[in-house]
Structure 1
Amino acid sequence: MSIVLRSKFNRASGARPALPIRFSNTDSRAAIRNKVVKSPLAWLAEQYSVGPRQVACAAGVAVTASLLIIVTGAVVRVTGSGLGCPEWPNCTDSTFAATPETGLHGAIEYGNRLLTGALCLVVGWLIVGSRLRRPLSRPILRGAWLQFWVIILNAIVGGITVWMRLSPYVVAAHFLAAILLLTTATVTWDRSRREAVPTPPASPRARALGTILLFTSAALLVVGTVVSGTGPHAGDSSDVTRLPLDWTSITTAHATLATAVVALTIAMLLCQPAGARRRTAVLLGVLLAQGAVGVLEVLTDVHSGAVVLHVLGSALVWAGAVRVFLDTRRVPSRASIIPEFPPAGRRAAQSEVAASPRRLYARVPGLPADPPRCADGVRFSSHLDPYPGARVDVRLEPMTEEEFGSWKVGAEAHFTQSILRSGVPATAAAAEAAETFAALLPDGVATAGHHLWYAYDGDRRVGFLWLKLTGFTAFVYNIAVEQDQRRRGYGRAIMEAGERWSRTNGATTIGLHVFTHNHGARSLYEQLGYLETGRRLSKGL
């Protein structure tokens, strides 16, 4: 059966609905929406859709463009091209673009203005992609629109900078406006990449350090603009007013703040768990490189090339501080706020996933790397507590040949029952289950690429996991929790243990099948960040 949607505009006759559109007090919201003419983006969203990965790519390009415009602004400054185009929005009194008379300085300044136009195109692409994204994310869409308005703000402040003949106060405001654009781009990019991935909450100490680190980094940026306002690079070859401050004293204060930021980053690194340190470690590396560039500036008497590198480093430091802050302040995903106990009458969250009509995939979360594998298997502690003060502790141990034999009998019988509930006749269901297991595990536990574990909490067996690793993709064939251990958080802990093992062994994506009737398992997987990528339909004849 197909459904055809028709608009109120008759294409054949060109007739449009009579105006004005009238609403009654009894109209529902849906009826009102149908009467109101949709915006072009809303109409486009009904015709096309874009995946989360494409939107994340666009957001990443916007971050890169924001960094690039900061760097080109520094190039304009150190080359003395700030007034290469002496007017705004035109370059000169008589021309919009640079002319041969404006020389190299005019070309550099006008090139920076053209880059702003390119940035508008990138952000426009992000706005359209965010609106077409499925599922639609309002925070990402708002972030994209906010970038557009910050670009407008930058253009206005840039014009004022030219009109004020490179006043150091306005130049500092122009740089901070560019940093504001980088901030909105970084936040949007972070949301686009992390929205569907469960994130464990940070400790109170990490949250406090993240906040202090962000504000100290902001102070470092502001003092850096004061250093630039008192330094030798005024932005133009002509005589430009500088800030009436002692450059040496301001530089010393700037270095002191930089040292404080490095110390806070190290403290942050020490208080984070092993798997959450990557962003902080990258920030620390950028800070150390930035310090080396600062020393190079002093040794080269503030060489213009070193200044450009220092401006780039300051932007990267700020973006890194923002991302570390977001890690500590991130609102826990549904996976970490929904109780482990489903309401009465709901199924427990276990799955039989050897073959099924729904396919779900998820990015492997940025969980801590596993410790070196030992003879007793992989150990994992869940971040979710079924009771206040309690913790779920799961250890995965590989199945032996003897254990595999008994496990296969029960798993095959369970899989047969799942196929029966999907409407397949009993004889065919049993045959399909037997054929599936024979094809997937011809060599038992020794089958290449397949990994089967029993899950233990202490000495008590609580479930099992069957996973296959192929290249960069992991696939969960089966997971189950023992009948008397369900609704205690073990299903989630086993799944997350499998994700950690997959990530450690090179996987970037993990997927699974789940039967449509298994509502509890579907709910758990969606909470863990899995997205549906396909659905198989059948009809009895």
Structure 2
Amino acid sequence: MTRGIRIASIATLATQIIIVGTGGAVRLTGSGLGCTTWPYCTPESFVPVPEQGIHGIIEFANRVMGGVVLLVAAIMLVLAIVHRRRHPGVLRLAILIVVGTIAQALIGAVVVFLHLRPDTVGIHFSISAVLVGVAAWMAWRVFRGRRARWGGSLAQRSLMLATTVMVPVVVYVGILTTGSGPHAGDGGAARNGLDPAVMQHVHALPAYALLALAVGLVLAGWRMRPFGIWAATLLGLIVLQATIGIVQSNLGLPIALVGAHMVISVMIVAATVVAALSLRVPAAESVEADDVRERVAA
């Protein structure tokens, strides 16, 4: 039974990330209005009709993926209820994910009804990033259990806090940058009015600050396990993200690279959450660490 909830927690995290990719495909192929209504694809048909072409298929596939995400989240919720004593705290996170996933579906309807306004599209993506972070937190709790308190050195905790603050800043500026550019989800969709050339540079500033913080995390925590491993994973994702960002900018924003950029952004959110949680230590380890410090002080 424990294996089941572990698989479900990983599946929840994976599907929350995958739907960012399918949603990105909708936006990047100009299929945001491939289905003109919600929950039906057309006023007369639940599924796409031939007249809608590939755009209808892409948009409908993303909606189907949304159903898969909700189903997996619901299964995780049932398992969290069954194992609520063995895995305390997981139930609250599972409830939050189910509620958030349902809210995402409703916001998706609003996005369609408002013809892909950049602010609604940005909210849609922001909630996806939050859900990925919560799913990563939940998976960590399932595998590692409850942690008593923060461990690590002051430098590690300070760098981790700064990184945790900087990640949503980078994601938000990235949302504004995308909303100013050519990939708004449909050929006739509005942009947010910002200059995309300027926004690329604005986006780069917090991104490079985040890169510097990640380097600091690795240098400060490479000897500490598992924190050092997750800090290195986070750094690797940020380096990959920065590389893709530079290349896509110079190549005129090809949709494959922009889509990868979107998916990696939420993977960075997940890695940040797990890296932060890896600084938490169990109660037994907290007591042992206190004893060591007392002996050293004596």
Which residues in structure 2 correspond to 1:39-188 (within 5 Å)? 50-51=1-2, 53-133=3-83, 135-188=85-138
Q: Cα 1:223–1:196, aligned 2, differ >3 Å: closer, same or farther?
A: closer
Equivalent pair of 1:130/1:136 in contact (CA under 8 Å): no
Q: Which has the higher contact order (CA 8 A, sep 6+)?
A: 2
One-letter code aligned to 1:63 = L
Q: Which residue of 1 aligns with 2:263?
A: 312
Which residues in structure 2 correspond to 1:65-464 (within 5 Å)? 65-133=15-83, 135-195=85-145, 201-237=151-187, 239-274=188-223, 275=225, 276-328=227-279, 330=280, 332-338=281-287, 384-386=289-291, 389-391=294-296
Q: What SS does the corresponding residue of 1:302 show, helix, strand or coil?
A: coil
Deviates more, 1:117-126 or 1:196-205: 196-205
- Which structure has the larger Rg over C-alpha atoms? 1
One-letter code aligned to 2:239 = L
Alignment partners' CA distance in 1, 2:205 and 2:150: 34
One-letter code aligned to 1:82 = G
Q: What SS does the corresponding residue of 1:309 show, helix, strand or coil?
A: helix
Identity of matched residues, %: 29
Alignment partners' CA distance in 1, 2:84 and 2:205: 47
Give the helix-richer structure, 1 or 2. Answer: 2
* Structure 1 position 254, deviation (Å): 0.7
Provide Cα deviations, 1:181-231, integer angstroms capped at 9, x if missing partner: 111111101111111688981222211211110111100000000000000
Equivalent pair of 2:93/2:138 in contact (CA under 8 Å): yes
Provide Cα deviations, 1:98-144, integer angstroms capped at 9, x if missing partner: 12122110110011001111111111111121222274323111111
Equivalent pair of 2:84/2:91 in contact (CA under 8 Å): no
One-letter code aligned to 1:301 = G
**Structure 2 runs not aligned, ≥5 long:** none
**Structure 1 runs not aligned, ≥5 long:** 1-49, 339-382, 393-541
Provide Cα deviations, 1:1-43, integer angstroms capped at 9, x if missing partner: xxxxxxxxxxxxxxxxxxxxxxxxxxxxxxxxxxxxxxxxxxx
Alignment partners' CA distance in 1, 2:221 and 2:96: 32
One-letter code aligned to 1:315 = V
Provide Cα deviations, 1:72-107, integer angstroms capped at 9, x if missing partner: 011001100000001112111111221212211011
* Structure 1 position 174, deviation (Å): 0.6
* Structure 1 position 59, deviation (Å): 0.4
**Count, aligned residues:** 295
One-letter code aligned to 1:191 = R
Alignment partners' CA distance in 2, 1:388 and 1:74: 50
One-letter code aligned to 1:269 = V
Deviates more, 1:104-113 or 1:192-201: 192-201
Alignment partners' CA distance in 2, 1:127 and 1:134: 10
Equivalent pair of 2:149/2:286 in contact (CA under 8 Å): no
One-letter code aligned to 1:56 = R
Provide Cα deviations, 1:370-399, integer angstroms capped at 9, x if missing partner: xxxxxxxxxxxxx5243753159xxxxxxx
Q: Cα 1:105–1:323, aligned 2, differ >3 Å: closer, same or farther?
A: same
Q: Cα 1:197–1:242, aligned 2, differ >3 Å: closer, same or farther?
A: closer
* Structure 1 position 273, deviation (Å): 5.0
Q: Cα 1:55–1:199, aligned 2, differ >3 Å: closer, same or farther?
A: farther
Q: What SS does the corresponding residue of 1:389 show, helix, strand or coil?
A: helix
Equivalent pair of 2:16/2:132 in contact (CA under 8 Å): yes
One-letter code aligned to 1:261 = L
Provide Cα deviations, 1:329-365, integer angstroms capped at 9, x if missing partner: x3x4221345xxxxxxxxxxxxxxxxxxxxxxxxxxx
